Structure 1
């Protein structure tokens, strides 16, 4: 009996062992999941990609994307999958939530990073946030309201609800927006949803370009992406990349974002 009690006490004393890619890391009534790179020694600090799911998504669903998991692991990075409290993120001007300021989600993200970096060997200076669809909306809001939390932000197929904020918090963030050129779910100009409207991607980019003092764009093409790259005198990045197609996600877009930031010395 004493041996069983000691084992139980030991398990309670090591909460890091109780969560990971297949088990929730509890944060009060919220949670997240994390996958360290394969073969990680448990002590060497590694960079991280934080991924926000789309509408009705989950941290578990993100971790079930084996292609994403394998890619991030091969990059030597941790994958942190965050989870909304209900079906969707509570963001300004979102459906039936026009009067919220988003602080509940921003505070949750603060808590996730603090908790993950205390449980796991995470280099908080080498973190990038990304997300698809509603997760892209979450990513844009984080870039505006918590810009110093991540070295770069890659919103995919999602922007602000209704309209871009009048102003953002400093410092200026590094942002790469990726979007399909024929997206019917989140069109570039947005569409009505319930009692609100999706925002216009170009308006968001124009707002941030003015806010960050970004100059004219330069064209750059990859195999799948047609990009318009901007920078400012401080060397910050604001890129807009389109792919042919609709509302779809490829893991390679996440890698493209990380490698772009890394190649510019941001990570």
Structure 2
């Protein structure tokens, strides 16, 4: 009997240590992951808004359906406390504040090592406070992902002095957004940034040139600036408020991740 038990243990199929319902641990934090039954070729990373969670991201049926359609993994990032630790934020939510760029890089390295995902086919999207995280990753770790999709979130107070790498960025924002208005607003001791300043900064910093309006689905109005190789900034507005759609992320993936 003892020999039988040892043989069963030896040849048993390994069980994933983490996934949809349980946390994966990396230095500085955790994340969750959904891999479709047919496997995954690349991954969409998603950063939640203020007060959100990786578990909440995984409860989003549209996100999991999107991952299944595209044949990619869905990676749900998780803040420490209610918010991300970002420059100029009124509060970090953890003390001392976590190095969010190092955390995101650690998650990427872990999903490559643990799940065998292609490191060159990864996109980072984020909504609201997660959009703010996304913009900070764009400028401090722009080579980590092939494309970025910040939605309804920008830098706190003002853009940084410069960005460290060229990146492909598609930003979505509602013209009627009162939570993170396009023109910014004061929050506590700080202020949400002005999207006009962010656009002007990124165009100048990455030496982009106007490409004019672009084709977009009904309800979106988009303009674009192009740079060298795959670098670009696309800014899409919609007439709604503080919201996002998984379809907007799918639009970028199907267009850019060929």
Assess same fold via TM > 0.5.
Answer: yes
SS across alignment from 1:130: strand
Measure, in 2, the Cα distance between the counterparts of 1:204 and 1:10: 55
* Long gaps (5+) in structure 2: none
Aligned to 1:229: 224
CA distance, structure 2, for counterparts of residue 29 and residue 238 of structure 1 = 31
- Cα distance in structure 2, aligned partners of 1:217 and 1:161: 28
Contact 1:91–1:101 (CA under 8 A) maintained in structure 2? no
Deviation at 1:8?
Answer: 7.5
Which of 234, 251, 256 in structure 1 is aligned with 2:251?
256
Residue 113 of structure 1 and its aligned partner are, at CA, apart by 0.8
Match of 1:245 in 2: 240
Give a deviation string over 1:122-144, Cα, whole Å, max 9, x none. Answer: 00001000010000000000000
Q: How does 1:37-56 map to 2 (within 5 A)?
A: 37-40=36-39, 46-56=41-51
- Aligned residue in 2 for 1:25: 24
Equivalence for 1:216 = 210
Counterpart secondary structure, 2:208: coil
1:75 corresponds to 2:70: yes
Which structure 2 residues correspond to residues 92-241 of structure 1 after superposition, within 5 A? 92-97=87-92, 104-170=99-165, 172-220=166-214, 221-241=216-236
In structure 2, the CA distance between the partners of 1:182 and 1:18, relative to structure 1 (3 Å rule), is same
Mapped to 1, the partners of 2:111 and 2:162 lie a distance apart of 30
| Runs of 4+ off more than 6 Å | 3-11, 100-103
CA distance in 2, matches of 1:22, 1:73: 17
Shift of 1:68: 1.2
Change (3 A) 1:10 1:207: farther
Q: Which moved more, 1:130-139 or 1:20-29?
A: 20-29
The CA distance in 2 between the partners of 1:124 and 1:5, in whole Å, is 37
How many Å separate the matches in 1 of 2:180 and 2:10? 49
- How far off is 1:259 after superposition? 2.3
Task: Give how far 1:249 is off.
Answer: 1.6
- Structure 1 residue 121, shift from structure 2 partner: 2.2
Is the 1:92–1:102 Cα contact (8 Å) retained in structure 2? no
- Paired residue secondary structure (1:69): helix
